[in-house]
């Protein structure tokens, strides 16, 4: 295995993310997945919008595009149509992908364009100061919900299955080996692949909700991990921290996979018919 640091823009490191933020683990797992798939560094395009998660593309030494808030799937759609030989990957967050860019995300899924979307869900708007996001669980505290969130939250995977994504998976940032495997599967899948990574935000979500630092939040996540019946390389956390009754489980693994026609653009479809 190559040293994943060879895929980093080392001059840009260390990254801006807070201590304990698991987004860096996600970036690392992604780099390992690219290495496992033996992809040409110049044939991988990372597209991002705005947010903590979207900062990741700045540190990865591929073709990268840092676009406007929520519009990463739109940029990626255009890029894939113009340069179909590229592996196009969108890195987005729960606010960027599900609130500001919700429409772009579901319509890219509906078209089943052959891109991969990695959505880092940390349940809060981290970069702007800990406001309520569409994924903040009911009852959780945030800077705009000092009395606890009164809204229901999105299940991103259900949303994307409904929108027509042909590969939908969920994984925890605390299980990097599974994450790498699912990312490689998603990138190999022909069609729209959606991978929701449950990440953490110790600085805002953790602080407001007294969930502890990054280590405690990640350990807490693993206690809630309920894998679906898929064979995955498994290397679990060694849990040093005893926990009280855990909150509801998080279903991880490949939740949906189907083969259906991939959107290749009008011009290509017309060419194929003639």
- Stretch near other proteins under the rule CB under 8 A, chosen from 22-30, 110-118, 121-129, 134-142: 22-30
Q: Report helix, strand or coil for 200.
A: coil
Q: For the chain, what is the largest distance between any 2 Cα atoms, rounded to a whole number of angstroms?
A: 65
Alpha carbon distance 165, 175 (integer Å): 23
Among 98, 159, 174, 183, the residue binding other proteins under the rule CB under 8 A is: 174
Alpha carbon distance 87, 43 (integer Å): 6
Binding mask 119-158 for other proteins (x = CB under 8 A): ----------------------------------------
Among 2, 5, 139, 151, the residue binding other proteins under the rule CB under 8 A is: 5
CB of residue 129 vs other proteins: minimum separation in angstroms? 20
Q: Report helix, strand or coil for 193.
A: strand
Alpha carbon distance 9, 136 (integer Å): 32
Closer to other proteins by CB, 36 or 155: give it. Answer: 36
Among candidate residues 148, 72, 160, the one with its CA nearest the CA of residue 109: 160
- Residues of the chain by 3-state class (helix, strand, coil), percent to 5: 40, 20, 40
Alpha carbon distance 42, 195 (integer Å): 23
Question: How many chain residues interact with other proteins (CB under 8 A)?
Answer: 34
Among 21, 45, 133, 182, the residue binding other proteins under the rule CB under 8 A is: 21
Closer to other proteins by CB, 75 or 204: give it. Answer: 204
Binding site for other proteins (CB under 8 A): 3-5, 8, 13-15, 17-25, 27-29, 174, 176-177, 202, 213-216, 218-219, 235, 237-238, 240-241
């Amino acid at each position: 295995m190559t040293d994943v640091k060879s895929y980093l823009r080392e001059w840009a490191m260390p990254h801006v993310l807070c201590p304990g933020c698991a987004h860096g683990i996600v970036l690392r797992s992604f780099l390992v997945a690219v290495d496992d798939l033996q992809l040409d560094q110049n044939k991988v395009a990372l597209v991002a919008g705005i947010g903590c998660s979207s900062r990741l593309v700045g540190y990865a030494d591929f073709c990268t595009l840092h676009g406007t808030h929520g519009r990463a799937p739109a940029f990626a759609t255009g890029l894939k149509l113009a340069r179909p030989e590229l592996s196009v990957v969108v890195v987005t967050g729960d606010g960027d992908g599900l609130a500001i860019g919700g429409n772009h995300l579901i319509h890219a899924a509906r078209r089943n364009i052959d891109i991969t979307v990695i959505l880092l869900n940390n349940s809060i708007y981290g970069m702007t100061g800990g406001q309520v996001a569409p994924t903040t669980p009911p009852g959780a505290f945030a800077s705009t919900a000092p009395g606890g969130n009164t809204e229901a939250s999105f299940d991103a995977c259900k949303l994307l299955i409904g929108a027509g994504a042909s590969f939908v998976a969920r994984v925890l940032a605390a299980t990097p080996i599974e994450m790498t495997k699912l990312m490689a599967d998603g990138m190999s899948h022909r069609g729209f692949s959606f991978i929701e990574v449950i990440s953490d935000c110790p600085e805002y979500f953790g602080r407001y909700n007294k969930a502890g630092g990054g280590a405690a939040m990640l350990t807490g996540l693993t206690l809630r991990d309920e894998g679906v019946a898929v064979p995955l390389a498994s290397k679990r956390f060694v849990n040093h921290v005893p926990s009280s009754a855990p909150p509801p489980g998080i279903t991880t693994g490949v939740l949906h996979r189907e083969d259906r026609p991939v959107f290749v653009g009008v011009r290509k479809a017309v060419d194929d018919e003639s």
